[in-house]
Amino acid sequence: MDSYTALSPLDGRYAERTRDLRRFFSEEALMRYRIKVELQYLFALSEESRLGIPVVTEGERGLCQSLFESIDMVSIKRIEHGDKASGIKGTKHDVKAVEYYIGMLLENTSFADRLQWVHFGLTSEDVNNTAYALMLADSLANCIEPALAKLLHTVGSLQEQWRHIPMLARTHGQPATPTTLGKEIAIFGERLLRQYDQLCKLNILVKMNGASGNYNAHVAAFPDVNWKAFFAKLVSTFNGGRSNFFLELNPTTAQIEPHDTYAELFDIMKRINTILIDFCQDMWRYISDDWIVQNPVAGEVGSSTMPHKVNPIEFENAEGNLGIAIALFEFFARKLSISRLQRDLSDSTVERNFGVAFGYSLLAYKSILAGLGKIQANERKIRSVLEAHPEVIAEGIQTILRREGIPNAYEQLKTLTRGRPATMEDFHQFIDGLNLASSVEAELKALRPETYIGLASRF
């Protein structure tokens, strides 16, 4: 596929930034995960002594692994479209086609007398929902979590770098009590960290309990086996290689797993992306006000007519892509937790779009990182703007006067400052007229916009 003819920009314009997700969310990936689930189930069956199946040896596991690793696009197409030799053709059922394909791979091996155990007692959703859970868990562990961790680290570095830069705050867009640039960045860092921690603690529920969720076929064939414990153990084997994003068995379901943990995941992703939209918009405003400046990149053009332009395109691009991802995550969470009598197939086409939502998210994270990598604080401008608004210390003055029991302190400062310019000289004249103790008068006159930052200096 040529990048210029791709329907989605994720596979076209932005293919290089999102390519890592293809091994988790492509149709090829889905087929591979289905095969992985089927093989691991076959191995687990062989280890249950009461079934009387010859135990799969290490050599046979190695054979299966080599066969699995040899699967290429030709193999995937044979599964997807079928061929006469394999007997797959015409199934119009992805999971059944996978079962037949595995049988074809193993028919001339030592597994020849065990092929009837492939997909034994399972319904297709047992395979599908486990495959999707693995796709989600592996993509989170290998792509999304590392990108977020890097973003958190970068935000933390900027917070530390800018912690001592006093800055005019704005509430309702108007000059307000001073803060520091580092503290304003820290707000986003702590918000993101809270969601990041919740994301990394999330486990995904899967079901492997047959056509109606009651282990009917399994119990009919082998009533003495504790199938619930068997499948709990099997599901735990899918967690190797990851330190988080574990899969857990949900033993009480109908034909499908209700996807509530999917919804929890998507809601966390929505919150992360919403916080980052807020962050991008604030960064955009700081750049617009010249409080943060961008380092121009040689060769780049900011405008087709205005040569001077250096646009905040990374933050703008991220904002748009985050919005697309949020819309999809919101739909996924709302849609997938509802199914007619807990089984209709409308979820199938929806699940195939998981990679789109995560693709736009990853694209946004990389854009934000790129944007943060070419900015610096314009400390001189930030300080000059703060110095131009001495009225913001009125809050501190009236609060100290209230402490000292001066009546109508708020009202007096309101008359002095509201809707009119006020200078430091105005404040000093006001203080001189109050007949205060010399120590209090000195305390009030020591207030300056650049030092009136409270605990913000700690960030």
Catalytic site positions: 172, 303
- Cα(423)–Cα(295) distance, rounded to whole angstroms? 35
- Cα(321)–Cα(383) distance, rounded to whole angstroms? 34
Check if the beta carbon of residue 351 is closer than 8 Å to that of residue 132.
Answer: yes
Q: Rounded to 5 degrees, what are φ and ψ at 105?
A: -65, -35
List the structure tokens of 353.
Answer: 């779009």
- Cα(159)–Cα(67) distance, rounded to whole angstroms? 50
3-state secondary structure (DSSP) of residue 418: coil
- Cα(305)–Cα(280) distance, rounded to whole angstroms? 26
- Cα(437)–Cα(434) distance, rounded to whole angstroms? 9
DSSP string for residues in 149-198? HHHHHHHHHHHHHTTT-EEEEEETTEEEEEEEHHHHHHHHHHHHHHHHHH
Check if the beta carbon of residue 279 is closer than 8 Å to that of residue 195.
Answer: no
Check if the beta carbon of residue 283 is closer than 8 Å to that of residue 292.
Answer: yes
Check if the beta carbon of residue 324 is closer than 8 Å to that of residue 273.
Answer: no
Rg (CA), the chain: 31
List the structure tokens of 101.
Answer: 């394909």
- H or E stretch at 31: helix 27-46
> 241: buried, middle or exposed (CB in 10 Å: 19+, 13-18, 0-12)?
exposed
End-to-end Cα, the chain, rounded Å: 49
